[in-house]
Structure 1
Amino acid sequence: MAAERLGIAETIPAYLNPKLKNEDLLKGVNFASGGSGYDPLTAKLVKVVSLSDQLKNFQEYKNKLKVIVGEEKANFLVKNSLYLVVASSNDIAHTYTARSIKYNKTSYADYLADSASKFVSALYGLGARRIGVFSAVPVGCVPAARTLRGKLKRRCSEKLNEVARNFNAKISPTLEALGKELPDSRVVLIDVYDTLNDMIENPKNYGFEVSNRGCCGTGLVEVILD
């Protein structure tokens, strides 16, 4: 959606798409792997591409750009591109439970914020300068969390939402400080927690009738781990 609003393309293709063309590389690509997170354990649990491997893919992408347009133009494209980082939801929804022996709600949020900061710094080190980091969402209100943790009435899991809020409270000043430390950078937090929470609590205000079930299957869980 962001790429479409910016007039770049209707969608940004996945970098690992085997049918990717040179013109796609010049417009921009998506390195994301659904289900990954700041916590390295998250990618292992859901068997997806970790953030560290996504950084390796980004480096490979840069090398391909240099072959296509030359080093100077490639560096220009990398420096002036917009980078959106969306993570933390699966860390909180899935991995937090596995980490609960070592971390509590506050310390795990601190761990995620520190990991996010290190990831942004690594991204900067590879040439990124305009970086937008999305906040955690009300993870405790997604259908699976309601079904597995919300008992018969499928209420939101306040425990998971508290971890999300703790992460947001920590990551905001962390990114602000990071933006001041990294020369020629623009690092911002894109806070969507309150907006999404209001949509969940007042769905009719946004044109929705139901906000406690998913759109596909039973709408209760629809999560599969191979």
Structure 2
Amino acid sequence: MALHSIALIFIFQFLQIPGIDAKVSSVIVFGDSTVDSGNNNFIPTVLRSDFRPYGRDFDGGRSTGRFSNGRIPTDFISEAFGLKPTVPAYLDPAYGIKDFASGVCFASAGTGYDNATSRVLSVIPLWKELEYYKEYKSRLEGYLGKTKANKILTEALYIISMGTNDFLENYYVLPYRSFEFSPKDYQKFLAGIARSFITEIYHLGARKVSLTGLPPMGCLPLERTLHGGICIARYNYVAKEFNKKLKALVETLNDELSGIRLVLSNPYHVLYNIIRDPQSFGFETAATACCGTGRFEMGYLCNEHNPFTCTDANQYVFWDSFHPTEKTNCILADHAVRTSLAVFK
């Protein structure tokens, strides 16, 4: 067995997320590249990761379309709830409705709450993810019968993870939204979309919902590399302020929507702590990414011919200029399972 494989086994035994005796029937995922398990492989976009070195530490060394060297947080969360160790992409023809009955992912890398964000790289907008869910619901009813399907959908854990692209691919890069909205007003605009989306899936049967906050987006390797190695404070401030708005939204909807249990899973502080002191978490560095120098390397710029790709991803907090390594994803999932998601036991 290779030394790298032995190291992986040791690390994930050490970071083993405890299993939960939970009443969760399935994990249903909406969002962006933080949780996309391969849907972008099957749409006409340049934003893909279905090639090496992506997935090099995934089971079998397969490039599945996950923006990581291995698994993503929702995979670990699914396993922690006693379900399968990976959540399949809805558009992947290798899977069918039988596979999706215990977990399905509608997420699309590059998308956001704002439809304008999904248009930047021609990815699946949030409204289309919702349409796919409605199609899935109908297919599941046809497969299991309406009563059993509805029970699964009611007992499922719905995970929503997006928002970073709305700021870093859209608001702070393109002129349109920044002319239309102040940062504060744009946050309100996005929170309003989140409110409508959660209300919509509630009326379609969702009752257990986790809304994921923004990470310290000013500390991503791309941003740090472009700004002399330091985090961009105003980006982090916007992330924290937006997370406050999401927290208020969670409290409001829990009062308004009878029977819903909505939680905020906030990765900001745990990831910020890892970035500030990576050695305490078993990493060597958070300033640069495993695949590349930290400058723009993601998608096709992170490839097997990149001379800067590291040999051991477990020493790095980030895999490419935007996305965490599998080890970091495991830590973030563990934090969520032990905190916000513990209510779903």
TM-score, normalised by the number of residues in structure 1? 0.94
Match 2:194 to one of 77, 95, 116? 116
Q: Residue in 1 aligned with 2:131?
A: 56
Deviations 1:155-206 (A, max 9, x none): 1111211211110111101111111111110011011111111111111111
5+ residue gaps in structure 2? Answer: 1-75, 301-345
Match 1:146 to one of 202, 215, 224? 224
- The alpha-carbon deviation at position 221 of structure 1 amounts to 2.0
Q: Residue in 2 aligned with 1:220?
A: 295
- The alpha-carbon deviation at position 220 of structure 1 amounts to 2.5
Deviations 1:84-109 (A, max 9, x none): 00001111211112221122221222
Report sequence identity in percent: 36
5+ residue gaps in structure 1? Answer: none
**Separation (CA, whole Å) in 1 of partners of 2:230 and 2:275:** 12
Q: Residue in 1 aligned with 2:117?
A: 42
Deviations 1:27-81 (A, max 9, x none): 1111111111111111111211111000000000001001111011111111110
Corresponding letter in the other structure for 1:34: A
Considering only aligned residues, what root-mean-square deviation do their CA atoms show, in Å?
1.6
Secondary structure of the equivalent of 1:101? helix
Secondary structure of the equivalent of 1:100? helix
Contact 2:208 2:261 in 1 (8 A): yes
- The alpha-carbon deviation at position 111 of structure 1 amounts to 1.6
Larger mean CA deviation between 76-85 and 92-101 belongs to: 92-101
**Separation (CA, whole Å) in 1 of partners of 2:121 and 2:287:** 24
Corresponding letter in the other structure for 1:140: G
Q: Residue in 1 aligned with 2:170?
A: 95
Secondary structure of the equivalent of 2:93? coil
Larger mean CA deviation between 35-44 and 107-116 belongs to: 107-116
Contact 1:93 1:145 in 2 (8 A): no
Match 2:183 to one of 98, 105, 117? 105
Q: Residue in 1 aligned with 2:212?
A: 134
Q: Residue in 2 aligned with 1:3?
A: 78
- Listed as ranges, the matches of 1:191-202 within 5 Å are 191-202=266-277
Contact 2:117 2:170 in 1 (8 A): yes
Secondary structure of the equivalent of 2:180? coil
Q: Per residue, is there more helix in 1 or in 2?
A: 1
Secondary structure of the equivalent of 1:189? strand
- The alpha-carbon deviation at position 224 of structure 1 amounts to 5.4
- Listed as ranges, the matches of 1:166-177 within 5 Å are 166-177=241-252
- The alpha-carbon deviation at position 22 of structure 1 amounts to 3.1
Contact 2:224 2:230 in 1 (8 A): yes
**Separation (CA, whole Å) in 2 of partners of 1:15 and 1:92:** 26
Match 1:211 to one of 263, 286, 297? 286
TM-score, normalised by the number of residues in structure 2? 0.62
Larger mean CA deviation between 104-113 and 40-49 belongs to: 104-113
**Separation (CA, whole Å) in 2 of partners of 1:114 and 1:215:** 36
Query: Structure with the greater relative contact order (CA < 8 A, sep ≥ 6): 1 or 2?
Result: 2
